[in-house]
Structure 1
Amino acid sequence: RPIPLTEYLKVNSGVYDASTLKLIYNIQPIVKFKSDTGDVINLCLESLLAGHSVLVFCPTRSWCETCAQQIAAEFRRIGYEKTDVGLQVREQLDGNAISDVLEQLKRCPAGLDQALGRSVAFGVAFHHAGLTMDERDIVEGAFRTSVLRVLVATSTLSSGVNLPARRVLIRCPPRSRDADVLTYRQMVGRAGRMGKDTEGESFLICNGSERGLGEQLVRAQLPPVESSLVVGDLSSSLKRAVLEVIASGVVSTTEDVEVYTGCTFLASSTGREELGDPLAACVEYLQVNEFVRVTGHALGATPLAEACLSASLPPDQGLKLLKELHRARQCFVLESELHVIYQVTPYSVSEQWGQLDWLRVLSLWE
Structure 2
Amino acid sequence: MLNMPKRGALLEAVIARLQALRNGGYGVKPRFVAVSATVPNGSDVAKWLQDDRGDRGALKTFGMDFRPVPLAIHVQTYKSAKNEFVFQEALNHHLSPIIRQFSDGKATLVFCVTKRACETAAKSLQQEGSGRCTGWLDPHLQLLLKEKAMSLTDSTLRSLVPNGLAYHHAGLNATDRQIVEQLFLQSAIVVLFCTQTLALGVNLPARLVIVKGTTAYKDHGWEEYDELEMLQIMGRAGRPQFDRQGVAVIMTETAHAGRWQQIMAGRPLESRLPGNLTEALLAEVVAQTTPNIQSLSTWLKSTFLAVRCARDPGHYATLCPVFINGVHPLLSSDGPDLEQFLRALSQQELEKLVTAGLITCDGAELQATALGEVASRFSVRYDTIRWLQQAPAPADLKELLWLIAQSADFAEYRPRHGEKTQLRDLAKKDAVRWPLAGPVDSAAKKVLVLLMLALADSPRSQLSWELKSQQSQVLRRAEPLLRVVSELFETRKEGRALAACMLMRNCLRKQIWENSTMLVRQLPNIGDVGAVALKERQLSSLEALESGDPRVIEIALGRRPPFSSTLQKKLRSVPRIKLRLCPQGTDGTISIDCGGSPLNCNESQLGTGFVHCVAYGAPGGQLLLHRRFPARNPQGLLLNLQNSTGLVVHLIYEDLIGFDDFQILGDVRMDRMAVGPSVASQSSEPGGKAKRQRVEKLSGHEATVALARARQGAQIQTLASSASPVRAMSSQTAPSFEGRAGRAGRADGFAAPDFQSREIPVAPAPMMLMQPVQPMQPVQPMQAVQLMQPVQSMQPMQPSCGPKGCTASPTPMMSRACDSQVDQPDTVMIRTAAGRLRWVNRTSSDALATGRIHPQCQSGAQFRSQFIRASDMQMSSTQNSVHEFALPQSYGLWGFVDHGAKGQ
TM-score bracket for the superposition, by shorter chain length:
0.5 to 0.7
Pick aligned residue for 2:254 from 207, 211, 221: 211
User: Which residue does 1:130 correspond to in 2?
Assistant: 171
Structure 2 Cα separation of the partners of residues 269 and 130 of structure 1: 38
The aligned runs of 1:155-234 (5 Å cut-off) are 155-159=196-200, 161-172=202-213, 177-182=222-227, 184-205=230-251, 210-219=253-262, 222-230=266-274
Q: Aligned pair in 2 of structure 1 residues 205, 310: CA closer, same or farther (>3 Å)?
A: same
Structure 1 Cα separation of the partners of residues 374 and 246 of structure 2: 48
Say whether 1:90 aligns with 2:137. Answer: yes
Amino acid at match of 2:99: C
Structure 1 Cα separation of the partners of residues 74 and 243 of structure 2: 18
Residue 204 of structure 1 and its aligned partner are, at CA, apart by 2.7
**TM-score normalised according to structure 1 size:** 0.65
1:55/1:151 contact within 8 Å kept:
yes
Q: Aligned pair in 2 of structure 1 residues 117, 37: CA closer, same or farther (>3 Å)?
A: same
2:108/2:192 contact within 8 Å kept:
yes
The aligned runs of 1:40-59 (5 Å cut-off) are 40-45=95-100, 49-50=104-105, 52-59=106-113
The aligned runs of 1:207-356 (5 Å cut-off) are 210-219=253-262, 222-230=266-274, 237-247=276-286, 249=287, 251=289, 253-254=291-292, 257-270=296-309, 273=339, 274-283=341-350, 285-287=352-354, 289-293=356-360, 299-324=366-391, 327-328=392-393, 332-334=394-396, 337=398, 339-348=399-408
User: Which residue does 2:157 correspond to in 1?
Assistant: 116
Indicate the structure with greater helix content.
1
Structure 2 Cα separation of the partners of residues 119 and 227 of structure 1: 42
Structure 1 Cα separation of the partners of residues 100 and 288 of structure 2: 54
* Deviation sequence 1:211-241 (CA, Å, 0-9, x none): 34445543467554332334xxxxx632211
Structure 2 Cα separation of the partners of residues 267 and 92 of structure 1: 60
Q: Aligned pair in 2 of structure 1 residues 186, 304: CA closer, same or farther (>3 Å)?
A: same
Structure 1 Cα separation of the partners of residues 246 and 199 of structure 2: 15
Residue 299 of structure 1 and its aligned partner are, at CA, apart by 4.3
Structure 1: unaligned runs, 5 residues or longer: 13-35, 80-85, 231-235
**TM-score normalised according to structure 2 size:** 0.29
Residue 304 of structure 1 and its aligned partner are, at CA, apart by 1.0
Structure 1 Cα separation of the partners of residues 302 and 181 of structure 2: 36
Structure 2: unaligned runs, 5 residues or longer: 1-63, 79-91, 311-337, 422-904
Amino acid at match of 1:119: L
Structure 2 Cα separation of the partners of residues 5 and 150 of structure 1: 19
1:127/1:152 contact within 8 Å kept:
yes
1:245/1:251 contact within 8 Å kept:
yes
How well do the aligned residues superpose, as a CA RMSD in angstroms? Answer: 4.2
Count of equivalent residues = 306
Structure 1 Cα separation of the partners of residues 245 and 109 of structure 2: 15
Residue 126 of structure 1 and its aligned partner are, at CA, apart by 0.9
Q: Aligned pair in 2 of structure 1 residues 69, 228: CA closer, same or farther (>3 Å)?
A: closer
Q: Aligned pair in 2 of structure 1 residues 184, 145: CA closer, same or farther (>3 Å)?
A: same
Amino acid at match of 2:272: S
Structure number with greater CO (CA < 8 Å, separation at least 6) is: 1
Aligned residue for 2:237, secondary structure, equals coil
2:164/2:188 contact within 8 Å kept:
yes
Residue 306 of structure 1 and its aligned partner are, at CA, apart by 2.0
2:108/2:191 contact within 8 Å kept:
yes
Aligned residue for 1:121, secondary structure, equals helix
User: Which residue does 1:153 correspond to in 2?
Assistant: 194
Aligned residue for 1:90, secondary structure, equals coil
Q: Aligned pair in 2 of structure 1 residues 288, 75: CA closer, same or farther (>3 Å)?
A: closer
Aligned residue for 2:206, secondary structure, equals coil
Structure 2 Cα separation of the partners of residues 281 and 62 of structure 1: 43
2:149/2:159 contact within 8 Å kept:
no
Q: Aligned pair in 2 of structure 1 residues 175, 346: CA closer, same or farther (>3 Å)?
A: closer
Aligned residue for 2:248, secondary structure, equals strand
Q: Aligned pair in 2 of structure 1 residues 93, 346: CA closer, same or farther (>3 Å)?
A: farther
Larger Rg: 1 or 2?
Answer: 2
Amino acid at match of 1:142: L
Aligned residue for 1:120, secondary structure, equals helix
Aligned residue for 2:137, secondary structure, equals helix
- Percent identity between matched residues is 25
1:59/1:154 contact within 8 Å kept:
yes
Q: Aligned pair in 2 of structure 1 residues 265, 147: CA closer, same or farther (>3 Å)?
A: farther
